[in-house]
Structure 1
């Protein structure tokens, strides 16, 4: 199987390469920009599978497909919000949210292998996906959560929430008054329900509110540590792969 990775952050590309090769596959090439990818595709046999980041240093990766007629299967590696994920699902595209989990990577590759062996890999409507990313459908985001407490229901307004976190296979709300409430949603579901201007998923464990950030400190391995107003139970570390995007979100 011929595999390439298109990712502008070279450390992230090499990390993904190691994870893929750990699963017994070989990555043939690493490409880091729209221009480099177009040049490569013009003079090489197209691969069976592409791991594709959307936002590259010199533009959106969709520009590659506008220039080159590529029939390869694609697994997106993205930190984009629900609109991108919705588009991918509509087109039977696999996607992996950064930072990439090895188990999810294995599942995505297994899904591709099944399609590849049956010769049923779908052709992708990149123009439609691009439009959905650039002009997302307007929608209402979550404004409150209803929590069951014994025989009562408690309403928690979104403005009262400091962060969401996962622990022992459960998902919790932590409020500004330093209380924790178990909810039924997963962090993945919450990402699609929360306003991305107000909330950001800094790691696999935490989604934080911008208004609740008290302090941001430099941490080891080019990561950042976030201090919130009341949550103290565990360190909140921004994954290295998300630091650049996190800084952009803050601005």
Structure 2
């Protein structure tokens, strides 16, 4: 069985490799970006099984399949919530929720081995999965946040939030009144809680509210700098690999 790992966080990739070795599954190679993966698939025999992260350092892993016709079976290693995971199930794709559990990993590999005789019939529609990830059916998004301020709780409606950002291992929201508040959550969790038509993750550190954008300026390396109504720091930059999707989101 030929197995590869595509994961942008090298410590996570090495950990998964060790876990697979513990259940007698040898990994042939580890890839860490969309660009590296496309180059590898162009010059190597495709594997039987891919352990695939969704968010890579230079874009979404779906971009690999938009360029290369890959028929390998996929086990996703992802931090997406139950709605996305349901989409994977409907398409007969296994998933492992990070942090990966040893028992879950062994069960997923056993599932794959059990369907080996039907391997050639596996058909994955990545565009449909991609749409479900972006617009999961019947999702209810956050309307407000409960913030602890001293001994009190303060409610902040979602339309009062200009942006969410991470700093010094903390996650904050910034309001239209010019106040920031520490949240008991992560940007990864917020990815599945925010209305995608209103909030966009421009880079690993920021979500911005479309209604709070007052200006956009060309920046170095084909990036964009965002100016918000009240948040006036300089590091609100759309990552280069997200610029096209950001422009599509605006329209």
The alignment's TM-score, normalised by the length of structure 1, stands at 0.63
- Give distance in 2, aligned partners of 1:215 and 1:245: 18
Cα deviation per residue 1:81-105 (whole Å; 9 max; x = unaligned)? 984355348954258xxxxxxxx9x
Cα deviation per residue 1:36-57 (whole Å; 9 max; x = unaligned)? x8xx8xx955444265833579
Q: Which residue does 1:100 correspond to in 2?
A: none
Cα deviation per residue 1:92-140 (whole Å; 9 max; x = unaligned)? 4258xxxxxxxx9xx88x98xx759x95364688469947945732232
- Give distance in 1, aligned partners of 2:128 and 2:139: 18
**Is there any run of 5+ residues in structure 1 with no aligned partner, and where?**
6-15, 96-103
Q: Which residue does 2:110 correspond to in 1?
A: 120
Change (3 A) 1:225 1:54: same
Change (3 A) 1:161 1:4: closer
Cα deviation per residue 1:194-250 (whole Å; 9 max; x = unaligned)? 100000111111111001011111111121111111112341111111111111111
* Shift of residue 158, structure 1, vs aligned partner: 0.9
- Give distance in 1, aligned partners of 2:164 and 2:226: 14
Q: Which residue does 2:50 correspond to in 1?
A: 49
The alignment's TM-score, normalised by the length of structure 2, stands at 0.63
- Give distance in 2, aligned partners of 1:152 and 1:45: 57
**Is there any run of 5+ residues in structure 2 with no aligned partner, and where?**
18-27, 55-60, 116-121
Q: Is the 8 A contact 1:73 1:121 kept in 2?
A: no
* Shift of residue 148, structure 1, vs aligned partner: 1.4
- Give distance in 1, aligned partners of 2:250 and 2:199: 10
RMSD: 4.5
The within-5 A match list for 1:132-147 is 133-134=131-132, 136-147=136-147
Are positions 1:191 and 2:181 aligned together? no
Q: Which residue does 1:84 correspond to in 2?
A: 84
Q: Which residue does 1:206 correspond to in 2?
A: 206
- Give distance in 1, aligned partners of 2:65 and 2:47: 22
Q: Which residue does 1:12 correspond to in 2?
A: none
Q: What SS class does the counterpart of residue 193 from structure 1 fall into?
A: coil
Q: What SS class does the counterpart of residue 247 from structure 1 fall into?
A: helix
- Give distance in 2, aligned partners of 1:149 and 1:50: 43
The within-5 A match list for 1:102-113 is none
Q: Which residue does 1:178 correspond to in 2?
A: 178
- Give distance in 1, aligned partners of 2:186 and 2:89: 18
Change (3 A) 1:77 1:211: same
Q: What SS class does the counterpart of residue 192 from structure 1 fall into?
A: coil
Q: Is the 8 A contact 2:161 2:176 kept in 1?
A: yes
Q: Is the 8 A contact 1:165 1:187 kept in 2?
A: yes
